[in-house]
Amino acid sequence: MAERPALPKTGPAQIHCHDVKKILITGISGGQGRLLAQKLIGQWDVIGVDRVPWVGAPDGISIETLDLRKKRLRNIIRIERPEAVVHLAFVRHFRSDPRVRHSVNVEGTQHLLENCAEFGVKRVVVLSSSYVYGAQPDNPRYMQEDHPLNVSRTFPEIRDLTEVEGLVNTFLWRYPDIATSILRPVNTLGYYVHSAIGRYFKLDYLPTVAGFDPMMQFIHEDDLCEAISATLDHDLRGVFNVTGSGAVPLKRAIRAIGKSRVSLPESVADLLIDRAFRWGVWEFPPAALEFLKYPCTISGRRFDEATGFKAKLSLEDIFAGVAR
Protein backbone atom coordinates (compact mmCIF):
# COMPACT_ATOMS: atom_id res chain seq x y z
CA MET A 1 0.00 0.00 0.00
CA ALA A 2 1.34 3.38 -0.95
CA GLU A 3 2.27 5.74 1.81
CA ARG A 4 -0.08 8.55 2.37
CA PRO A 5 0.39 11.01 5.22
CA ALA A 6 -2.13 10.63 8.00
CA LEU A 7 -4.81 13.24 8.35
CA PRO A 8 -3.76 15.94 10.81
CA LYS A 9 -5.23 15.41 14.23
CA THR A 10 -6.15 19.04 14.64
CA GLY A 11 -7.72 21.25 12.10
CA PRO A 12 -7.83 25.01 12.10
CA ALA A 13 -9.57 26.38 15.15
CA GLN A 14 -13.28 26.76 14.74
CA ILE A 15 -14.13 30.28 13.71
CA HIS A 16 -16.95 31.68 15.80
CA CYS A 17 -18.36 34.08 13.34
CA HIS A 18 -21.83 34.39 11.90
CA ASP A 19 -20.53 34.42 8.32
CA VAL A 20 -19.45 30.81 8.60
CA LYS A 21 -22.32 28.56 7.65
CA LYS A 22 -22.98 25.18 9.09
CA ILE A 23 -22.73 21.96 7.11
CA LEU A 24 -23.88 18.53 8.21
CA ILE A 25 -22.05 15.55 6.78
CA THR A 26 -23.69 12.17 7.26
CA GLY A 27 -21.33 9.21 7.22
CA ILE A 28 -18.52 11.53 8.30
CA SER A 29 -16.40 8.73 9.78
CA GLY A 30 -16.08 6.96 6.45
CA GLY A 31 -13.09 7.64 4.21
CA GLN A 32 -14.88 10.05 1.92
CA GLY A 33 -16.57 11.75 4.88
CA ARG A 34 -13.28 12.37 6.70
CA LEU A 35 -11.62 13.76 3.58
CA LEU A 36 -14.55 16.03 2.87
CA ALA A 37 -14.70 17.28 6.45
CA GLN A 38 -10.98 18.13 6.27
CA LYS A 39 -11.49 19.96 3.04
CA LEU A 40 -14.51 21.98 4.15
CA ILE A 41 -13.38 22.81 7.68
CA GLY A 42 -11.97 26.22 6.79
CA GLN A 43 -15.00 27.45 4.86
CA TRP A 44 -17.75 25.77 6.83
CA ASP A 45 -18.64 25.02 10.40
CA VAL A 46 -18.65 21.23 10.03
CA ILE A 47 -20.84 18.90 12.06
CA GLY A 48 -21.15 15.23 11.38
CA VAL A 49 -23.16 12.14 12.15
CA ASP A 50 -22.23 8.50 11.67
CA ARG A 51 -23.00 5.11 13.10
CA VAL A 52 -19.38 4.76 14.22
CA PRO A 53 -17.22 7.40 15.90
CA TRP A 54 -14.32 9.11 14.13
CA VAL A 55 -11.35 8.42 16.33
CA GLY A 56 -8.94 11.32 16.16
CA ALA A 57 -11.32 13.75 14.56
CA PRO A 58 -9.95 17.29 14.27
CA ASP A 59 -11.00 19.80 16.91
CA GLY A 60 -13.89 21.90 15.87
CA ILE A 61 -15.84 19.13 14.25
CA SER A 62 -18.64 17.92 16.44
CA ILE A 63 -19.65 14.37 15.70
CA GLU A 64 -22.70 12.51 16.94
CA THR A 65 -22.77 8.75 16.82
CA LEU A 66 -26.25 7.74 15.74
CA ASP A 67 -28.41 5.79 13.35
CA LEU A 68 -29.95 8.02 10.67
CA ARG A 69 -33.32 6.41 11.21
CA LYS A 70 -33.44 7.49 14.86
CA LYS A 71 -35.16 10.54 16.25
CA ARG A 72 -31.91 12.03 17.53
CA LEU A 73 -31.10 13.06 13.96
CA ARG A 74 -34.16 15.30 14.00
CA ASN A 75 -33.00 16.96 17.21
CA ILE A 76 -29.56 17.63 15.78
CA ILE A 77 -30.92 19.26 12.63
CA ARG A 78 -33.51 21.21 14.66
CA ILE A 79 -30.93 22.61 17.04
CA GLU A 80 -27.95 23.05 14.72
CA ARG A 81 -29.95 24.32 11.69
CA PRO A 82 -27.31 23.46 9.07
CA GLU A 83 -27.34 25.46 5.85
CA ALA A 84 -26.15 22.48 3.80
CA VAL A 85 -26.24 18.69 4.12
CA VAL A 86 -23.96 16.22 2.37
CA HIS A 87 -25.40 12.72 2.56
CA LEU A 88 -22.67 10.07 2.37
CA ALA A 89 -24.07 7.61 4.92
CA PHE A 90 -24.89 4.55 2.88
CA VAL A 91 -24.20 0.92 3.55
CA ARG A 92 -22.33 -0.03 0.38
CA HIS A 93 -21.05 -3.48 1.30
CA PHE A 94 -22.86 -6.81 1.32
CA ARG A 95 -21.57 -8.23 4.60
CA SER A 96 -24.62 -7.32 6.63
CA ASP A 97 -28.21 -8.49 6.41
CA PRO A 98 -29.64 -7.18 3.10
CA ARG A 99 -32.79 -6.09 4.95
CA VAL A 100 -30.79 -3.93 7.31
CA ARG A 101 -28.84 -2.46 4.41
CA HIS A 102 -32.03 -1.61 2.56
CA SER A 103 -33.67 -0.10 5.62
CA VAL A 104 -30.65 2.01 6.59
CA ASN A 105 -30.18 3.34 3.08
CA VAL A 106 -33.78 4.01 2.12
CA GLU A 107 -35.38 4.94 5.43
CA GLY A 108 -32.29 6.75 6.63
CA THR A 109 -32.37 8.94 3.53
CA GLN A 110 -36.10 9.56 3.84
CA HIS A 111 -35.76 10.58 7.51
CA LEU A 112 -32.88 12.89 6.67
CA LEU A 113 -34.70 14.56 3.78
CA GLU A 114 -37.88 15.12 5.83
CA ASN A 115 -35.89 16.97 8.43
CA CYS A 116 -33.92 18.94 5.87
CA ALA A 117 -37.20 20.25 4.46
CA GLU A 118 -38.63 21.02 7.88
CA PHE A 119 -35.67 22.88 9.33
CA GLY A 120 -34.65 25.12 6.46
CA VAL A 121 -31.68 23.35 4.89
CA LYS A 122 -30.76 25.22 1.69
CA ARG A 123 -28.49 22.76 -0.09
CA VAL A 124 -28.52 18.97 -0.16
CA VAL A 125 -25.91 16.83 -1.92
CA VAL A 126 -26.45 13.07 -2.10
CA LEU A 127 -23.60 10.81 -3.17
CA SER A 128 -25.06 8.09 -5.34
CA SER A 129 -22.96 6.06 -7.80
CA SER A 130 -22.59 5.37 -11.50
CA TYR A 131 -23.50 1.79 -10.61
CA VAL A 132 -27.19 2.76 -10.66
CA TYR A 133 -27.13 2.51 -14.47
CA GLY A 134 -26.08 -1.11 -14.23
CA ALA A 135 -23.51 -2.87 -16.38
CA GLN A 136 -25.31 -4.18 -19.46
CA PRO A 137 -23.89 -5.39 -22.77
CA ASP A 138 -26.08 -2.99 -24.75
CA ASN A 139 -25.31 0.13 -22.71
CA PRO A 140 -24.27 3.17 -24.73
CA ARG A 141 -20.56 3.60 -24.08
CA TYR A 142 -21.01 6.96 -22.36
CA MET A 143 -24.38 7.17 -20.67
CA GLN A 144 -25.97 10.47 -19.85
CA GLU A 145 -27.99 11.35 -16.77
CA ASP A 146 -31.33 10.57 -18.44
CA HIS A 147 -30.38 6.96 -19.13
CA PRO A 148 -32.69 4.52 -17.27
CA LEU A 149 -31.36 3.19 -13.97
CA ASN A 150 -31.20 -0.45 -14.94
CA VAL A 151 -29.02 -1.91 -12.22
CA SER A 152 -31.78 -3.90 -10.53
CA ARG A 153 -32.43 -5.86 -13.73
CA THR A 154 -29.33 -7.94 -13.07
CA PHE A 155 -28.12 -6.76 -9.66
CA PRO A 156 -31.10 -6.49 -7.29
CA GLU A 157 -28.81 -6.38 -4.25
CA ILE A 158 -28.10 -2.69 -4.84
CA ARG A 159 -31.57 -1.58 -5.89
CA ASP A 160 -31.73 0.42 -2.66
CA LEU A 161 -29.42 2.94 -4.36
CA THR A 162 -31.95 3.55 -7.13
CA GLU A 163 -34.75 3.72 -4.57
CA VAL A 164 -32.78 6.36 -2.68
CA GLU A 165 -32.42 8.30 -5.92
CA GLY A 166 -36.17 8.08 -6.39
CA LEU A 167 -36.70 9.64 -2.97
CA VAL A 168 -34.20 12.39 -3.61
CA ASN A 169 -35.73 13.14 -7.02
CA THR A 170 -39.17 13.51 -5.47
CA PHE A 171 -37.63 15.81 -2.88
CA LEU A 172 -35.95 17.79 -5.64
CA TRP A 173 -39.26 18.52 -7.37
CA ARG A 174 -41.19 19.07 -4.18
CA TYR A 175 -38.85 21.71 -2.77
CA PRO A 176 -37.80 23.99 -5.62
CA ASP A 177 -36.08 26.40 -3.20
CA ILE A 178 -33.63 23.78 -1.96
CA ALA A 179 -30.59 23.20 -4.16
CA THR A 180 -30.72 19.41 -4.18
CA SER A 181 -28.28 17.43 -6.27
CA ILE A 182 -27.47 13.80 -6.82
CA LEU A 183 -23.89 12.96 -7.79
CA ARG A 184 -23.14 9.72 -9.61
CA PRO A 185 -19.37 9.31 -9.50
CA VAL A 186 -17.50 6.57 -11.34
CA ASN A 187 -15.35 3.95 -9.54
CA THR A 188 -13.70 5.79 -6.67
CA LEU A 189 -10.19 4.85 -5.57
CA GLY A 190 -7.91 6.25 -2.94
CA TYR A 191 -6.24 5.71 0.38
CA TYR A 192 -9.19 6.43 2.65
CA VAL A 193 -12.32 5.35 0.78
CA HIS A 194 -13.57 1.81 1.11
CA SER A 195 -15.29 1.55 -2.23
CA ALA A 196 -16.39 -1.74 -3.75
CA ILE A 197 -13.80 -1.38 -6.52
CA GLY A 198 -11.15 -0.49 -3.93
CA ARG A 199 -11.90 -3.65 -1.95
CA TYR A 200 -11.80 -5.68 -5.15
CA PHE A 201 -8.37 -4.26 -6.04
CA LYS A 202 -7.07 -5.15 -2.56
CA LEU A 203 -7.59 -8.89 -3.12
CA ASP A 204 -4.47 -10.98 -3.68
CA TYR A 205 -5.82 -12.58 -6.83
CA LEU A 206 -8.48 -10.71 -8.70
CA PRO A 207 -11.08 -12.86 -10.40
CA THR A 208 -11.93 -11.74 -13.93
CA VAL A 209 -14.16 -13.32 -16.54
CA ALA A 210 -12.45 -14.90 -19.54
CA GLY A 211 -13.27 -13.12 -22.79
CA PHE A 212 -14.58 -9.97 -21.13
CA ASP A 213 -12.66 -6.76 -20.48
CA PRO A 214 -14.94 -3.74 -20.12
CA MET A 215 -13.75 -0.15 -20.17
CA MET A 216 -13.81 1.32 -16.66
CA GLN A 217 -13.60 4.88 -15.45
CA PHE A 218 -11.90 5.90 -12.22
CA ILE A 219 -11.85 8.97 -10.04
CA HIS A 220 -9.55 9.70 -7.11
CA GLU A 221 -11.08 10.34 -3.71
CA ASP A 222 -9.51 13.83 -3.60
CA ASP A 223 -11.09 14.73 -6.92
CA LEU A 224 -14.44 13.46 -5.70
CA CYS A 225 -14.10 15.72 -2.65
CA GLU A 226 -13.36 18.56 -5.04
CA ALA A 227 -16.49 17.67 -7.02
CA ILE A 228 -18.70 17.64 -3.91
CA SER A 229 -17.26 20.96 -2.86
CA ALA A 230 -17.87 22.41 -6.34
CA THR A 231 -21.48 21.19 -6.17
CA LEU A 232 -21.94 23.15 -2.94
CA ASP A 233 -20.21 26.23 -4.32
CA HIS A 234 -22.36 26.33 -7.44
CA ASP A 235 -25.70 25.64 -5.71
CA LEU A 236 -26.32 22.88 -8.23
CA ARG A 237 -29.78 21.37 -8.62
CA GLY A 238 -30.32 18.12 -10.44
CA VAL A 239 -28.62 14.86 -11.25
CA PHE A 240 -24.99 14.80 -12.34
CA ASN A 241 -22.55 12.16 -13.48
CA VAL A 242 -19.06 12.79 -12.14
CA THR A 243 -16.11 11.37 -14.06
CA GLY A 244 -12.38 11.38 -13.43
CA SER A 245 -9.51 11.29 -15.88
CA GLY A 246 -10.68 8.72 -18.38
CA ALA A 247 -11.19 5.04 -18.98
CA VAL A 248 -9.07 1.92 -19.37
CA PRO A 249 -9.97 -1.74 -19.78
CA LEU A 250 -10.34 -3.51 -16.43
CA LYS A 251 -7.49 -5.94 -17.10
CA ARG A 252 -5.16 -3.08 -18.03
CA ALA A 253 -6.06 -1.37 -14.76
CA ILE A 254 -5.25 -4.54 -12.82
CA ARG A 255 -1.86 -4.68 -14.55
CA ALA A 256 -1.27 -1.01 -13.78
CA ILE A 257 -1.73 -1.57 -10.06
CA GLY A 258 0.56 -4.59 -10.21
CA LYS A 259 -1.90 -7.29 -9.22
CA SER A 260 -2.37 -10.83 -10.50
CA ARG A 261 -5.67 -11.95 -11.85
CA VAL A 262 -7.41 -15.26 -12.30
CA SER A 263 -9.38 -15.49 -15.49
CA LEU A 264 -12.42 -17.72 -15.01
CA PRO A 265 -14.81 -18.93 -17.71
CA GLU A 266 -18.25 -17.35 -17.35
CA SER A 267 -20.03 -20.45 -16.05
CA VAL A 268 -17.29 -21.31 -13.57
CA ALA A 269 -17.16 -17.74 -12.29
CA ASP A 270 -20.94 -17.65 -11.79
CA LEU A 271 -20.96 -20.91 -9.87
CA LEU A 272 -17.84 -20.31 -7.77
CA ILE A 273 -18.78 -16.81 -6.74
CA ASP A 274 -22.35 -17.78 -5.96
CA ARG A 275 -21.12 -20.50 -3.57
CA ALA A 276 -18.34 -18.40 -2.09
CA PHE A 277 -20.77 -15.55 -1.42
CA ARG A 278 -23.26 -17.87 0.26
CA TRP A 279 -20.59 -19.40 2.46
CA GLY A 280 -19.41 -15.96 3.41
CA VAL A 281 -15.83 -16.30 2.14
CA TRP A 282 -16.40 -13.77 -0.64
CA GLU A 283 -18.01 -10.41 -0.14
CA PHE A 284 -19.47 -9.63 -3.55
CA PRO A 285 -22.72 -11.20 -4.76
CA PRO A 286 -22.52 -13.06 -8.08
CA ALA A 287 -24.44 -10.27 -9.82
CA ALA A 288 -21.44 -7.99 -9.24
CA LEU A 289 -19.71 -10.02 -11.97
CA GLU A 290 -21.74 -8.05 -14.50
CA PHE A 291 -19.51 -5.07 -13.73
CA LEU A 292 -16.45 -7.18 -14.62
CA LYS A 293 -18.05 -8.15 -17.93
CA TYR A 294 -19.96 -5.22 -19.34
CA PRO A 295 -19.37 -1.49 -19.51
CA CYS A 296 -21.00 1.02 -17.20
CA THR A 297 -19.25 4.13 -18.49
CA ILE A 298 -20.82 7.55 -18.13
CA SER A 299 -20.48 11.02 -19.57
CA GLY A 300 -19.58 13.70 -17.04
CA ARG A 301 -19.96 16.56 -19.49
CA ARG A 302 -23.01 18.07 -17.80
CA PHE A 303 -21.28 18.36 -14.43
CA ASP A 304 -18.04 19.64 -15.95
CA GLU A 305 -19.91 22.35 -17.84
CA ALA A 306 -21.97 23.36 -14.81
CA THR A 307 -19.02 23.65 -12.42
CA GLY A 308 -15.87 23.88 -14.54
CA PHE A 309 -14.70 20.77 -12.74
CA LYS A 310 -11.67 18.95 -14.06
CA ALA A 311 -10.11 15.97 -12.30
CA LYS A 312 -6.56 16.78 -11.15
CA LEU A 313 -5.24 13.26 -10.74
CA SER A 314 -4.48 11.20 -13.82
CA LEU A 315 -5.17 7.49 -14.13
CA GLU A 316 -1.46 6.85 -13.43
CA ASP A 317 -1.69 8.82 -10.19
CA ILE A 318 -4.81 6.95 -9.16
CA PHE A 319 -3.31 3.52 -9.87
CA ALA A 320 0.01 4.43 -8.27
CA GLY A 321 -1.93 5.34 -5.14
CA VAL A 322 -3.45 1.88 -4.78
CA ALA A 323 -0.53 -0.14 -6.19
CA ARG A 324 1.40 -2.18 -3.73
**Residues forming the site for other proteins (CB under 8 A):** 137-144, 209-213, 215, 246-249, 252, 255-256, 266, 294, 299, 314-316
Helix (H) or strand (E) holding 271: helix 266-278
Side-chain half-sphere CA neighbours of 202 within 13 A: 15
CA proximity to 311, closest of 193, 189, 198, 200: 189
Q: State in angstroms the smallest separation of the CB of 315 from other proteins.
A: 7
C-beta closer to other proteins: residue 97 or 316: 316
CB distance 32 to 76 below 8 Å: no
C-beta closer to other proteins: residue 90 or 294: 294
Q: State in angstroms the smallest separation of the CB of 184 from other proteins.
A: 17
Q: State in angstroms the smallest separation of the CB of 250 from other proteins.
A: 10
Torsion angles phi and psi, residue 93, rounded to 5: -105, 175
Pairing of strands 247-249, 215-220: antiparallel
CB distance 282 to 191 below 8 Å: no
C-beta closer to other proteins: residue 63 or 273: 273
Q: State in angstroms the smallest separation of the CB of 2 from other proteins.
A: 19
Q: State in angstroms the smallest separation of the CB of 214 from other proteins.
A: 8
C-beta closer to other proteins: residue 27 or 244: 244
Contacts of 284 (CB under 8 A, 6+ apart): 94, 196, 200, 273, 277
C-beta closer to other proteins: residue 14 or 154: 154
